[in-house]
A and B are shown apart, each in its own frame.
Chain A
Amino acid sequence: MRPDTRMSVLRFAAPLAVAVVVVAAWQILVSVNRIPPYIVPSPLLVAQTLYADRALLLNSLGVTLGIALAALALATLVGVATALIFVQSRWLEMSLFPYAILLQVTPIVSIAPLIIIWVRDTRTALVLCAVVVAIFPIISNTTLGLRSVDRGLLDLFRLSRASRWQTLWRLRVPSALPYFFGGLRIASGLALIGAVVAEFVAGTGGQGAGLAYQILLAGIQLNIPRLFAALVLIALAGIALFAATVGLSRVALSRWHESALDVES
């Protein structure tokens, strides 16, 4: 097998092996110690529940994932726009950046009730909560990227009498892409966390109930296998989101940036 093929096989096989070992150990521990399912359900029972409750759970997954994706899109849009404004003026950045940090360090659980009260439409409120959580890495990474421009190239643009706009589009934006994608990768996970936390606070049930509501409800009903099944789905959704952003960044940077190149090249 060629070394790079072996590397790519290993990339999937190694974490998979860890999962198999952990699940097997979990199953054995639960079976041998006869732990009741309302304390820790066996992986087999979780899988059975996942299958039995698939209609309910997949519907909730769709709701949560929809909120997370909408939040990620909005955070990207607003975050990049903010970074572009910051990089045009040091004054603006100095005046506004502390507030971006404020947004970042304020726990979402403490402002989510306010947002839910202020915004009439629950779905919109949930998306906004998730945006608040996800936006900071996009703002800070993109701003850093737009500023991290090769000095020599900047001199060359000045010597060529490039306009501000040309310098932005032809130099700053491409230079910022690797940083932006780094931010997006972090934001994808945060958007999901934000969506779940906001759902917890809002506690919306019924047709539009997300996975967080299913977890809350399952906990109250002591339906622990369903709680685990919902948890598994959230974890899988998080991994899928992360993988999607990694894939996106590979497509965008594949030809030139070190982060997207194979180790050997």
Chain B
Amino acid sequence: MTPPGGGEAIVALSGVAKTYDNGTQALERIDLVIRDGEFVTLVGPSGCGKSTLLHLIAGLSRPSAGRIAWWSGTFDETGGPGRRIGLVFQSPTLMPWASVTANVRLPLDLARVARADANAAAAHALARVGLAAASARLPRELSGGMRMRASIARALVTNPDLLLMDEPFGALDEFTRQRLESDLLALWSAQRVTVVFVTHSIQEAVFLSTRVVVMGAHPGRILDAMSVDEPYPRSDAFRLSPAFAALAQQVSACVAKASADALPDSAPLRANAARRTR
């Protein structure tokens, strides 16, 4: 696969900070470059600003300080061919009144793509996540794992060059989660898409990523980043290997140190509250 640090810079954050209107400092001086073909995981305890950081990269909010470049340009220059961004949320966030196909097709409908082309793209995206048989169903008729697959298909339908995922598997059971993780890696290998993945699971971070970025709280900042130089495809056997255990240990120690350093006050709660009420 693409060697970490080798490809073109997809997103470059320099000195990025985020302070909410209520004064909560969610992020402090973030410097991070995400390169073409990388699978970067942001991992850290609750309230360390990983979701905030992902929202900044998605262009859904603006930094209070510093600057972010997408493909060395501004956010307004994204969205075209070669510069598309897909986003997968914590919950599936599907439209309950629309069929799976209509949900997956949404980004294309909003871009006014012809219906026939959009339907073909949606069918293709659904096939890639193994949901072709459920295309006519409504979200409420799907299981939690299937809903998340539909949500991923919706993010894939535009053939994104940068895929942002905000704890997408957090609410799923262990079996579904592991299957989706393997499926996601297969998709990533086949697609040549750059992924930024937020999680609080160290195992998930190590299993998926080419690089793990460890974040700490009060205020949110990057503590460390480590490459995971294990070859792909990674099978379930990797989860049981000594190399996996060693990497997980390393990340875990880093997170633990960050948690110990942090002051045990209510700052993370306030940061979370600010994010939700925004």
Are A160 and B110 in contact, with the CB atoms below 8 A?
yes
Query: Among B59, B90, B96, B98, which residue has its beta carbon within 8 angstroms of that of A159?
Result: B59
B215 to chain A, nearest CB (A): 21
A26 at the interface (CB under 8 A from B): no
Assess whether B252 is interfacial by the CB under 8 Å rule: no
The complex places the Cα of A150 from the Cα of B106 at a distance, in Å, of 15
Contact B93 A157 (CB under 8 A): no
Query: Could you say which of A66-74, A166-174, A203-211 contacts chain B?
Result: A166-174
Q: Tell whether, in the assembled complex, residue B110 and residue A150 are in contact, meaning their CB atoms are under 8 Å apart.
A: no
Q: Does A161 contact B (CB under 8 A)?
A: yes
Contact between chains at B60 and A174 (CB < 8 Å): no
- A152 adjacent to B60 (CB under 8 Å): no
Nearest CB to that of B79 among chain A residues? A161
B140 at interface (Cβ–Cβ under 8 A)?
yes
Asked if A256 is an interface residue, CB under 8 A from chain B, the answer is yes
* Residues of chain B within 8 A of A257, CB atoms compared: 96-97
> In the bound complex, do residue B58 and residue A170 qualify as a contact, i.e. CB atoms below 8 Å apart?
no
Measured between beta carbons, the chain A residues less than 8 angstroms from B139 are: 256
Are A152 and B93 touching (Cβ within 8 A)? yes
CB-based contact B87/A256 at 8 Å: no
Q: Which residues of A contact B55 (CB under 8 A)?
A: 155
Instruction: Tell me which residues across on chain A come within 8 A of B58, comparing CB atoms.
Output: 155, 159
A152-B91, A155-B89, A255-B138 known; A161+B96 contact, CB < 8 A: no
Q: How far is the CA of A155 from the CA of B59 in the complex (A)?
A: 10
For residue A162, CB closer than 8 A to chain B, the reply is: yes
Known: A156-B87, A159-B59. A256 touches B107 (CB 8 A): no
* Residues of the B chain whose Cβ atoms lie less than 8 Å from the Cβ of A160: 106-107, 110-111
* Interface presence of A158 (CB below 8 A): yes
- The answer on a CB contact under 8 Å between B111 and A153 is no
Interface residues of A in 85-110 (CB under 8 A from B): none
For residue B229, CB closer than 8 A to chain A, the reply is: no
Q: Please, could you name 10 A-B residue pairs with CB atoms under 8 Å apart, sorted by A?
A: A152-B90, A152-B91, A153-B93, A153-B95, A155-B55, A159-B59, A160-B111, A256-B138, A256-B139, A257-B96
B residues apposed to A, CB below 8 Å:
55, 58-60, 79, 85, 87, 89-91, 93, 95-98, 106-107, 109-111, 138-140, 154
